[in-house]
Amino acid sequence: MFLILQFFVLLLTFTLHENESFAQYIPPSPTMVSLVHKHTDAATPLYSVRIETFNDITQFTPQNFLIDIDAPLIWHDCISKWNKHRVSCPLYGGCISPVSCEDFQCTKVRSAYSYKNPSCSPVTNSSTLPVSGLCSCPVNVKNPLTKSCSQALLNYDDVIVNAAYNINSYKPHVRSLNAACAPSSSFKSFPSNVTGVMALSMSPYAFQAFFMNQVTKRILALCLPSGSKPSNPGVLFYGDGPYYFHPHYSNVDIRSILTYTTLLKHPHSFGYFIGVNAIVIKQRSINIPNNATTKLSTIKACTTLRTDIYNRVVRRFSKVTKQIPLAKPVTPFSLCYRTFINGTRVVPRVPDISFSLRDGKMWTVSTANSIKRITKHVSCLAFVDGGATGEHAIVIGTFQFEDNLLVFDLEKSVLGFSSSLLKKQTSCANFNLM
- Sign of the four-CA dihedral 218, 424, 170, 433: positive
336-338: strand order across its sheet: 326-327, 336-338, 378-381, 371-373
The closest alpha carbon to 124, from 106, 148, 112, belongs to: 106
Label the pairing between strands 303-305 and 383-385: parallel
Fill in the DSSP letter of residue 68.
E
The per-residue pLDDT for 36 is 95
Which residues, in sequence order, are CB contacts of 411 under 8 Å at separation 6+? 217, 218, 219
Residue among 158, 222, 171 at smallest CA distance from 30: 171
Name the phi and psi angles at 123, rounded to 5.
-85, 155
Nearest to 273 by CA among 282, 281, 264: 264
Helix (H) or strand (E) holding 3: helix 2-24
What's the chain's length in residues? 434
- Show the beta-strand stretches assigned E in 27-145: 31-39, 46-56, 59-68, 75-77, 97-98, 138-142
Q: Distance (Å, rounded) from C-alpha 230 to C-alpha 247?
A: 19
181 vs 96: CA distance, rounded Å: 9
Using a 10 angstrom Cβ sphere, with 0-12 exposed, 13-18 middle and 19 or more buried, the burial of residue 311 is middle
| Residues in contact with 237: Cβ distance below 8 Å, sequence separation at least 6, in sequence order | 31, 32, 33, 219, 220, 221, 222, 243
- pLDDT in the model for residue 215: 56
123 DSSP assignment:
P
Return d(Cα 91, Cα 324) in angstroms, integer.
64
Q: Which residues of the chain have pLDDT under 50?
A: 1-28, 85-93, 167, 434
**What is the reported pLDDT for 201?**
94
Tens of pLDDT, residue by residue over 99-128, are 888 888 888 888 887 556 667 877 877 666
Q: Tell me the one-letter amino acid at 167.
A: I
Please give the model's pTM, rounded to 2 decimal places.
0.87
Cβ atoms < 10 Å from Cβ of 377: 14
pLDDT digits (tens, 9 = 90+) for 329-384: 999 999 999 987 776 777 778 999 999 999 999 999 999 999 999 998 999 999 99
Of 372, 361, 371, 373, give the one whose Cα is nearest residue 418: 361
Helix, strand or coil for residue 221? strand
User: Other CB atoms closer than 10 Å to residue 92's CB: what's the count?
Assistant: 9
Domains annotated for the chain, with CATH where assigned, are 31-238 (2.40.70.10), 254-430 (2.40.70.10)
CA distance 236 to 224: 8
- Contact by Cβ (8 Å): 295, 394: yes
First-last CA distance in the chain: 59
Q: Are 190 and 66 in contact (CB under 8 A)?
A: yes
**DSSP class per residue in 251-318:** TSBGGGG-EEEE-EEETTEEEEEE-EEEEEETTEEEE--TT--EEE-SS-SSEEE-HHHHHHHHHHHH
Is 95 in contact with 158 (CB distance < 8 Å)? yes
278 touches 285 (CB < 8 A): yes
Distance between CA atoms of residues 336 and 346, nearest Å: 13
